[in-house]
Amino acid sequence: MPEALAKFIDLPVIEDPRGNLCVIESGQHAPFEVKRVYYLYDVPSQSTRAGHAHLALHQLLIAVSGSFDVSLHDGSRAERVTLNRPNRGLHVGPMMWRDIDNFSSGAVCLVLASAHYDEADYIREFDRFLAAARG
């Protein structure tokens, strides 16, 4: 069986009758230094987000509420995974095309990123990504 394109990371949960607490520490649970945090919400169910790759950026994607699917492509293989647990993240590394879709009602996608926003780090055309990934 081939290696997965991205790695699932189970995040520690502190259970309490008053409600659970999930911890994510930079460099420990997120396998990189976190420099930016953002989230997607109120995404219409038929919409697709992402649609790009990054040259150097690492991301940890977490479904903090609801669920969504992440389609990945490394230039030669494709994989689709569902995120639906707030204590499980998906580490997506550089040079990995990603599309995020199939958002459930109320879904929130939290993203921890290894760098500040830099448009020069994006590859937004799939053909250009394929050429770079295969080159």
CATH number, domain of 51, equals 2.60.120.10
Assess if residue 112 is contained within a domain. Answer: yes
| CB-based contacts of 135, cutoff 8 Å, min separation 6 | none
**Residue 2 belongs to some domain of the structure:** no
Where do the DSSP E strands lie in 5-134?
7-10, 13-14, 21-22, 36-41, 49-54, 59-65, 68-73, 78-83, 88-92, 97-101, 108-113, 122-123
Has residue 1 been placed in a domain? no
Active site residue 52: yes
- Domain boundaries, position 72: 7-134
Given a contact cutoff of 8 angstroms between Cβ atoms, the answer to whether 37 and 64 are in contact is no
Contact 8, 79 (CB under 8 A): no
DSSP structure class, residue 3: P
Identified catalytic residue from 52, 54, 58, 73: 52
Pair 95, 54: CB distance under 8 Å: yes
Tell me the three state secondary structure of residue 71: strand
- pLDDT attached to residue 3: 82
Q: Residue 74 domain-assigned?
A: yes
The pLDDT score that the predictor gives to residue 1 is 62
Would the CA dihedral through 64, 70, 74, 77 be positive or negative? positive
Q: What total of structural domains would you count in the chain?
A: 1
Task: Tell me phi and psi for residue 66, to 5 degrees.
Answer: 70, -150
pLDDT, mean of each 10-residue run, the chain (135 residues): 87 95 91 96 94 98 98 97 97 98 97 98 98 92
d(CA 67, CA 3): 24
According to the model, what pLDDT value does residue 45 have? 84
Predicted TM-score of the model (pTM): 0.94
